[in-house]
Structure 1
Amino acid sequence: MSLYKAETRRLVKRRFTKLFVLCGLLVLAAVAAGVFLSNQRVGPETVARAKAEAQRNYQESVQETNRIVQECQAAQGTADAGNFPPNCEISAPQQSDFDPEWYMPATFDFRDKFPEMVTTFAAVLALVAYIVGASFVGAEWSSGGMMNLLLWRPRRLQVLGTKLLVLLTSAAALTAVLGVLWTVGFYLIAQARGSTESMTGGAWQSIGLMEVRGLVLVLLAGALGFGLASLGRHTAMALGVAIGVIVVLQFGLLTVLSLANVKFPELYLAPFWIFAWLNKEYVAQDYTSCDVSPLGGCQPETLTITWQLAGGAMAALFLLVVGGAIWTMRRRDIT
């Protein structure tokens, strides 16, 4: 049996792999069920009811405003006049203030809302890939299995590279299959509980490219978990780094940066880079340096994180962690 087939069998047969993949599937199923149950298809009757409710609320607001104006006029010259604006200048409500869209039930428009589901899908599978990747190699180191394997195949880099290749190809295959099912499932949800009328060729292309970027994110997460566990020669190494990054470097760093009034603190936080990668860009705003616009209001200074910039940072992180794991595999003692 070849090394690749042996490692593939080892990965697929592990109970830990099956458990976390199952947990990921349950989370995704819960999300899909929640979206299905919390949305409904909007028909002509629903639109008519929303328009009627908006009109009714508008009329009630007009009547309430008229009543307040009458009370204000009656209170002029009395002690109660101070409870009302001077000269009873009370703005009347406008019909445009009561948009029928606000009275519509939640509906799942595939073009508008499915990108959020792609982000959720990528985040869940990235977490699964990270933990499975860390356990896949970490358990080998902590149990002594890596040392025994190298006695059979005494080529360190080939063994580590094959393990990583098996992990990435398996994660890619799983993500691709689930991605197709995820897209088809939500398309059917949109047909039953929303709308798919706005889908065009360009919209499908945009969604497809976003799903490809989600796939890259999943593979990166798996490689990082694998690399960190290999560096520390234990699964706990990767899990500890993840906890440290989330708790210390994200929440703690955000607090420190906010207290220090640092411009664009999002640049130091991983979620915003991930958002930029999946959604093509993220625009950070600095409200502490507002420029006065001729049209009025605050025009904060902005900085855009593009998907190309986020992709470069991800590539650098991949090379740093995986390259470090390869270097230590070659240089350090196995025992």
Structure 2
Amino acid sequence: MSLSKAETRRLVKRRFTKLFVLCGLLVLAAVAAGVFLSNHKVSPEIIAKATADAQANYQQSVQETSRIIQECQAAQGTAQATNFPPNCEISQPQPSDFDPKWYMPPTFDFRESFPEMITTFAAVLALVAYIVGASFVGAEWSSGGMMNLLLWRPRRMQVLGTKLGVLLAGATVLTLLVGALWTAGFYFIARTRGSTDSMTSGAWQSIGLMELRALALVLLAGALGFGLASIGRHTATALGVAIGVIVVLQFGLLAVLGMADVKFPELYLAPFWIYAWLNKEYVSQDYNSCDFSPTGGCLPETLTITWQWAGAAMVLSFALIVGGAMWTMRKRDIT
């Protein structure tokens, strides 16, 4: 049996892999079920009811405003006048302030809402890929299986590279299959509990490209988990780094940056770079600055994190972690 076939069989047959993939799928299924149950198809009856509710609230607001104006006028010249605006300048509500859309139940518009679901899908599968990738190589280091494998195939770089290739291939297949089901499932939700009217060829292309970026994120997460566990020669190394980065570095750094009034603190936080990668950009605003505009007044200074920046950061992370794993595999003793 070839090394790649042996590693593929090992990856697929591992109970740890099956468990975490199943957990990820259950989480995604719960999200899809929640969206299905919380959204409704807009029907003429729902529109009529929302219009009636908006009109009723408008009339109630008009009556309430008229009552307040009468009380204000009656209080003029008394101590109670200070409880009302000067000269009883109270604006009347307008019908435009009561849009019937605000009184309708939530509905799932595929074009507007599905990108958020792609972000959720990418986050869940990236977490699964990271943990499975870390365990896939970490368990062999901690159990001594790596040493036994190298006795059979004494080519360090080939062995580690094959393991990483098998992991990434498995993550690709899983992401593509689940992504196809995810898209079809939410398209069904939009058809039955929302709308697909605004879907054009350009919209489908945008969604397809976003899903490809989600695939790249999942593969990066798997590679980082694999590389960190290989460097530390234990699954706990990758898990410890993840906890440290998420809990200590990100939240702690956010607090420090906030106290120091650092401009654009999002530049130092990974979630905003991930958002920029998936959604093509993230606009950070410095509310402590003011760029005067003749038409818009005082506008905060902005800095845009583009998907190209985020992609470069991802490539750099991959090169450092996976490259470090390959270097340690070649230089360190296998003991």
Query: Which bracket does the TM-score occupy, shorter chain normalised?
Result: over 0.9
Which position in structure 2 is the counterpart of 1:316? 316
Which position in structure 1 is the counterpart of 2:73? 73
Deviations 1:222-249, CA, capped at 9 Å, x for gaps: 0000000000000000000000000111
Which position in structure 1 is the counterpart of 2:238? 238
Shift of 1:83: 1.4
Which position in structure 2 is the counterpart of 1:229? 229
Which position in structure 2 is the counterpart of 1:91? 91
Which position in structure 1 is the counterpart of 2:55? 55
SS of match in other structure, 2:199: coil
Residue 187 in structure 1 maps to residue 187 in structure 2 = yes
Shift of 1:95: 1.3
Gaps of 5+ in 1: none
Which position in structure 2 is the counterpart of 1:131? 131
Give the partner amino acid of 2:87. N
Which position in structure 2 is the counterpart of 1:37? 37
RMSD: 0.8
Cα distance in 2 for partners of 1:192, 1:3 equals 48
Q: How does 1:1-335 map to 2 (within 5 A)?
A: 1-335=1-335
Query: Identity percentage over the alignment?
Result: 81
Shift of 1:298: 3.5
Shift of 1:52: 1.2
Deviations 1:249-268, CA, capped at 9 Å, x for gaps: 10000000000000000000
Q: Which moved more, 1:291-300 or 1:210-219?
A: 291-300
Give the partner amino acid of 1:305. I
SS of match in other structure, 1:304: strand
Change (3 A) 1:297 1:101: farther
TM-score, normalising length from structure 2? 0.99
Count of aligned residue pairs for this structure pair? 335
Q: Which moved more, 1:81-90 or 1:281-290?
A: 81-90
Shift of 1:296: 4.8
Shift of 1:208: 0.3
Shift of 1:59: 1.1
Cα distance in 2 for partners of 1:298, 1:202 equals 36
TM-score, normalising length from structure 1? 0.99
SS of match in other structure, 2:287: strand
Give the partner amino acid of 1:171. A
Give the partner amino acid of 1:300. P
Cα distance in 2 for partners of 1:34, 1:128 equals 21
SS of match in other structure, 1:299: strand
Gaps of 5+ in 2: none
Give the partner amino acid of 2:247. V
Shift of 1:81: 1.4
Give the partner amino acid of 2:91. S
Cα distance in 2 for partners of 1:15, 1:290 equals 56
SS of match in other structure, 1:263: coil
Cα distance in 2 for partners of 1:296, 1:85 equals 28
Consecutive aligned runs of 4 or more in structure 1 exceeding 4 Å deviation:
none
Cα distance in 2 for partners of 1:210, 1:258 equals 31
SS of match in other structure, 1:54: helix
Deviations 1:301-331, CA, capped at 9 Å, x for gaps: 0000010110000000000000000000001
Shift of 1:75: 1.2
